[in-house]
Structure 1
Amino acid sequence: MYKGMLLFIVGLIMYMAGIYLSTIWAAVGTAIGVFGGLLMGISTYFYSLNAKRKS
């Protein structure tokens, strides 16, 4: 549970920082935004893994 929540929060922060940075440096901001989105997507694996264990 905590691993998924941590990945989601870090991914969200990186995604939002990527959006902001893409207004200044397009390539760097885009890369950070994409990596943050990937982290948020990976966190859903840990959420579903935890939900499967409870049921």
Structure 2
Amino acid sequence: MNLTLMRQIYEAFLERPFFGVRPMTWHLKNEGHPVNEKGIWRLMQLIALIPIYHKLQYK
């Protein structure tokens, strides 16, 4: 089950590289998977996925 979740996390991350743990959990729950943030965080750490965050530029 973890391998299928890891594959789905990776595929969703390729489409949306700005998804962190919370949006990824929300996305997978909407697809019908019984997941929580702690499990998604652990799997994202195993895959070594780091989301891209928008950096604010102050002038």
With structure 2 as the length reference, what TM-score do the two structures score? 0.35
With structure 1 as the length reference, what TM-score do the two structures score? 0.36
**Between structures 1 and 2, the one with greater helix share:** 1
